[in-house]
Chains A and B, each alone.
Chain A
């Protein structure tokens, strides 16, 4: 790599490419028993790149209006050559991306990689995760099928629970009082323009910070990392990364080919919500919780309280590096680790119940 750069004086005169090449040549990855978790960020990035590619392809045929959206997706699935594959890849990769991001986020959390000076890396990462969920939510409506219609109705209604600005927020999301074609066009705009723009900026910051700060070594593995030689990123770690990506591509292609994403029925705003309706798996634990919260808690509507509680946990999660100051001084914070496990257990149990308990009561 460095020799080819040295030979080409064209780029050296125009860009400090030697410095960049030098930086990457010196980049290393610490070796310890938790090293495997370092692959998850790159894995998330890989699925994101798939999303960009397949998303651009879907844009060629998709039409974002209530009258034509469902039919255009049907057209992609049945008439466009490999259209079913492109759409399935986009849907499956979205799910795998959220899963990879989730594992990445929790592993970072347990390894306390958010401690000084990596607070901004954590905050940008959590915001990127929220953006991934927003991509999932806005993209879900675009085929304009029954499930999507009610999911969007409930999801946007949840936004209206926010104190003071709730109703304005609902109007902003729906483009009116109801979920209509205006909502579809709006969420399409968010999905293909606003969210990608925000994601690109945050992702740039996130990756830049990771490069500048280097890999964090978890406190529990510091002794081991000090004994073992770090692995040069070029080419050894990158090669391993690529093997992981190849496996991911294989899994993704198999899922997309064997279980093509269903389209369902076209949305009818004047039909009842179908029995067995439930959101995508990453929203399932919130959905299940909303079912169990009683209608009234003291003087407040139960769902308002539940939704506000989820919002507060989200803010807490974002601010973790500023709340958990102990690891910087070499101390261990049991409470944060316990919180992480409780959160995982809660998500797992609620999701499992939603899958196992029959939906028609």
Chain B
């Protein structure tokens, strides 16, 4: 049995497989940690579901401002009628930060000319989806933006 096995694989090709396999294992054991090292570790973020987006009286009707929502920008809009609306300010196209344009009376992204109406709906241009909308709550002087779950 054994003799049969050894006679089928020559010493030369055995050594070739042995060396090739060893080299592959070595390359793999070097590359694996390097690849894992290159990928950044996930940094835990405190999940924030509400944030003070602004103060009452800070925004005139027909204007908007960008605020921090965790590590992403949000946008607080005061409509020409005086209502407050809050959205994620991250454009759904390629993640630029949008802005309120008082001349259009709606939200606009400067990077690739994307337009959103005052409900966050994508009106025109390349954005494929509406902006994420936040619930707005006024408590005393503070205007809160609250993530809808």
Contacts and interface: CB of A to CB of B under 8 A. Distances in A.
A295 B122 contact: yes
B5 to A, nearest CB: 41
Contacts of A270: 66-68, 73, 97
Contacts of B120: none
Interface stretch (A77-85, A96-104, A172-180, A226-234): A172-180
Contacts of B71: 177-178
Contacts of B22: none
A295 B97 contact: no
Interface in A54-78: none
B94 interface: yes
Interface stretch (B10-18, B23-31, B109-117, B136-144): B109-117
A263 interface: no
Contact of B94 (A153, A176, A361): A153
Given A153-B95, A157-B95, A273-B97, A290 B112 contact: yes
Given A295-B128, A303-B93, A303-B94, A275 B110 contact: yes
* B43, B72, B93, B99: most-surrounded residue (chain A CB, <10 A): B93
Contact of A290 (B73, B94, B122): B94
A276 interface: yes
A324 B147 CA distance: 56
Interface residues of A, number: 35
Contacts of A290: 94, 112, 126
B33 interface: no
Contact of B126 (A176, A269, A295, A359): A295
Nearest to A175: B40
B66 A273 contact: no
Contacts of B111: 150, 154, 273, 277
Contact of B97 (A171, A272, A302): A272
Contacts of A16: none
Contacts of A361: 113
A301 B128 contact: yes
Contacts of A359: 110
A336 B2 CA distance: 61
Contacts of A154: 94-96, 111
A331 interface: no
A273 to B, nearest CB: 4
Interface in A263-320: 269-277, 287, 290-291, 293-296, 301-303
A168 interface: yes
Contact of A274 (B40, B72, B110): B110
A132 to B, nearest CB: 23
A215 interface: no
Contacts of B40: 171-172, 174-176, 182
Contacts of B46: none
A240 B31 CA distance: 47
A287 B110 CA distance: 12
Contacts, number: 83
Contact of B128 (A177, A182, A273, A303): A303
Contacts of A294: 126
Contacts of A153: 94-96
Contacts of A171: 39-40
A271 B97 contact: yes
B125 A273 contact: no
B145 interface: no
A131 interface: no
Contact of A276 (B43, B89, B110): B110
A296 B127 CA distance: 9
A172 B96 contact: no
Contact of A291 (B98, B122, B125, B128): B125
Nearest to A150: B96
Contacts of A50: none
Nearest to B72: A178
Contacts of B122: 295
27 contacts: A150-B111, A153-B95, A154-B96, A157-B94, A158-B94, A171-B40, A172-B38, A172-B40, A176-B43, A178-B71, A271-B66, A271-B73, A272-B89, A273-B98, A273-B99, A276-B110, A277-B110, A277-B111, A290-B94, A290-B112, A291-B112, A291-B113, A295-B93, A295-B128, A301-B128, A302-B126, A303-B128
Interface of B: 38-40, 43, 66-68, 71-73, 75, 89, 93-99, 109-113, 122, 125-128
Given A150-B111, A178-B71, A270-B67, 12 more contacts: A153-B94, A153-B95, A177-B71, A271-B97, A272-B89, A275-B110, A276-B110, A277-B96, A277-B110, A301-B128, A303-B126, A359-B110
